[in-house]
Chain A
């Protein structure tokens, strides 16, 4: 990108730096500092290896097609082990000129103060993963974003490009290893070209004092497919995200699932939006929210049907494990064409007493019955992803359930 374009981005970001997000508690982004590079990555990594394992990251790189590891605002490991795959950090990709036309195209730089902060305070770190044309990369690429510095902002900017007919699986594990307030404002822009397929798995284990504001935009071309699975397992000061997916080519498909556990005093506002802009596109949004203690959870979803022959379905369930917590589900369907099929179902409540009794009558204690039912509630369909990845997600969900 040339200087003029970069200057333009900077100006738009500056103008948006005090623009609050549409949803979620407002956070003063200026109170967080850009952290100095940590003195020893090895120490940080060895101290957090078990935490990393819990979010599906294996530092040995075994079972991964490639690895990207970022601590605070530094990319500390960038590795590729598979032909047809490229993994770089953003700065490198910009220098090489390979993400021109992709930076800030699926997420506007001036969307809100968090995108602005990512542009202004981020150090052009974040992963760039590219599956080359026709490359079927069945082993997942792992990316890990670790926050270690207290009071700091982490603003990685990630770009994933799946070229025509390629297939790519990315699993991102994000976590905090500190006990003081921090802000994660990651930007992710994904581009799935004709007939390509991207599955994106995100497992989060943040800290009770971390504010999390991921901003994600996805563009899917003709016959392409985007599948995302999101698991959040720990209490977080606040989390607000609403990934937006544009299906712009005929027959493109999207499937978004999320399993969110909100405990303690967490405030979470998790959405998903799919725009069906081309004929015969389809989308499914599935969410499972579990709240406990005093947590507040808003589960939003929107499917907007803007072309003929499109289909969309929202399934949005909430389980309250305490009387002081709250779940608000807001499934929305927007039809701008008559030849569409849109539907949603939502159910919110506590565990059924008849279900608990049934399992107890089979010999399980009340606690066992409860945890079996909670784990069962959190079960989501995991199709189209490699077995290894499925096991990781299932493990993460089990850990999240076990923590309840």
Chain B
């Protein structure tokens, strides 16, 4: 569904992605793991079409179509959607208004969104300016709502669990699951998700099938999500590197 080929990207002249290859299948939920500064967020921003991230070589294919040079809004129209790790504050733009406009476009049911807002504890944010004065956890809840309003076919979630307290994680995880999986009214559609997570806390709610580990701008390792999570927890990312040196694949 989403295919990334040998992607090399610079930001302000600094190379942040050094030849990334990754494939996300239809209906697949995959985790993207890796130490701080390894390029996970850069990959998400590049996939979304952030003009600050300059593509030096490589391609991005969505359903076989080359979207490498498309502007962000056209990528969104083709089905890409995101949860930003650190979204900008939008003064004067209320969360409720944005949800309504997105729902009008995507056909998402506005009332269901309001219900989800209640469930994830974001109802009090609806009439506030988006992300202005939001806590870390509130930012994530609002972002998940916006993602739901977009009804993406390929969801890119950049640390949806960071800043979220452990008590709120199950309900947020369940909402994310409902947005990115084939449950509910759009069961016939095939959706996929790539989820960046630093902690892996969110992973158990998402039933991810695969995990990728990114180190220093390249995918160093991939395999069964549960197995990789277990190893990372046990040995850390260093352990993953050793596994690469041992040339052991974890498929």
A372 located at the interface, meaning its Cβ lies under 8 Å from any Cβ of chain B in the complex: yes
Assess the B102–A373 pair: CB atoms within 8 A: no
Of B87, B93, B105, the residue contacting A363 (CB under 8 A) is B105
Q: B86 — nearest CB in chain A belongs to which residue?
A: A354
Task: Indicate the member of B73, B75, B93, B150 with the most A CB atoms within 10 Å.
Answer: B73
- Chain A residues lying within 8 Å of B102, measured Cβ to Cβ, are 362-363
B113 located at the interface, meaning its Cβ lies under 8 Å from any Cβ of chain A in the complex: no
| Chain B interface, >50% SS class | mixed
Assess the A358–B91 pair: CB atoms within 8 A: no
B77 CB to nearest A CB, Å: 6
New contact pairs (8) apart from A355-B90, A361-B76, A362-B98, CB-CB < 8 Å: A354-B88, A360-B72, A362-B76, A362-B81, A362-B146, A362-B150, A365-B73, A373-B93
Q: For window 363-387 of chain A, which residues contact chain B by CB distance below 8 Å?
A: 363-366, 369, 372-373, 375-379
Assess the B77–A363 pair: CB atoms within 8 A: yes
A353 located at the interface, meaning its Cβ lies under 8 Å from any Cβ of chain B in the complex: yes
Task: Indicate the member of A357, A359, A362, A376 with the most B CB atoms within 10 Å.
Answer: A362
A388 CB to nearest B CB, Å: 20
Size category of the A interface is: 20 to 34
Assess the B90–A360 pair: CB atoms within 8 A: no
- Taken together as a complex, chains A and B put the C-alpha atoms of A88 and B51 apart, in Å, by 60
Knowing A353-B51, A372-B93, A376-B93 are in contact, say whether A363-B88 is a contact too (CB < 8 A).
no
Assess the B92–A375 pair: CB atoms within 8 A: yes
- Chain B residues lying within 8 Å of A357, measured Cβ to Cβ, are 48-52, 72
Knowing A373-B90, A376-B91 are in contact, say whether A363-B84 is a contact too (CB < 8 A).
no
A36 located at the interface, meaning its Cβ lies under 8 Å from any Cβ of chain B in the complex: no
B71 located at the interface, meaning its Cβ lies under 8 Å from any Cβ of chain A in the complex: yes
A16 CB to nearest B CB, Å: 42
Assess the A379–B76 pair: CB atoms within 8 A: no
B224 located at the interface, meaning its Cβ lies under 8 Å from any Cβ of chain A in the complex: no
Assess the A363–B92 pair: CB atoms within 8 A: no
Q: For window 60-77 of chain B, which residues contact chain A by CB distance below 8 Å?
A: 71-73, 75-77
Assess the B88–A364 pair: CB atoms within 8 A: no
Q: For window 81-108 of chain B, which residues contact chain A by CB distance below 8 Å?
A: 81-82, 84, 87-88, 90-93, 98, 102, 105-106
- Taken together as a complex, chains A and B put the C-alpha atoms of A357 and B82 apart, in Å, by 12
A352 located at the interface, meaning its Cβ lies under 8 Å from any Cβ of chain B in the complex: yes
Assess the A363–B71 pair: CB atoms within 8 A: no
| Chain A interface, >50% SS class | helix
B129 located at the interface, meaning its Cβ lies under 8 Å from any Cβ of chain A in the complex: yes
A46 CB to nearest B CB, Å: 36
Q: B149 — nearest CB in chain A belongs to which residue?
A: A362
Assess the B88–A352 pair: CB atoms within 8 A: yes
Task: Indicate the member of B72, B76, B90, B105 with the most A CB atoms within 10 Å.
Answer: B72
- Chain A residues lying within 8 Å of B77, measured Cβ to Cβ, are 363
Of A352, A363, A378, the residue contacting B150 (CB under 8 A) is A363
Assess the A363–B73 pair: CB atoms within 8 A: yes
- Chain B residues lying within 8 Å of A372, measured Cβ to Cβ, are 93
Assess the B146–A353 pair: CB atoms within 8 A: no
- Taken together as a complex, chains A and B put the C-alpha atoms of A359 and B92 apart, in Å, by 14
- Chain B residues lying within 8 Å of A375, measured Cβ to Cβ, are 92
Q: B82 — nearest CB in chain A belongs to which residue?
A: A361
Knowing A353-B51, A353-B52, A376-B129 are in contact, say whether A360-B71 is a contact too (CB < 8 A).
yes
Q: Which 8 A-B pairs have the closest CB atoms?
A: A376-B92, A379-B92, A363-B76, A360-B72, A376-B93, A360-B73, A361-B72, A354-B88
- Chain B residues lying within 8 Å of A377, measured Cβ to Cβ, are 91-92
- Taken together as a complex, chains A and B put the C-alpha atoms of A162 and B55 apart, in Å, by 65
Assess the B150–A355 pair: CB atoms within 8 A: no
- Taken together as a complex, chains A and B put the C-alpha atoms of A355 and B86 apart, in Å, by 11
Of B52, B73, B106, the residue contacting A366 (CB under 8 A) is B73
- Chain A residues lying within 8 Å of B93, measured Cβ to Cβ, are 372-373, 376
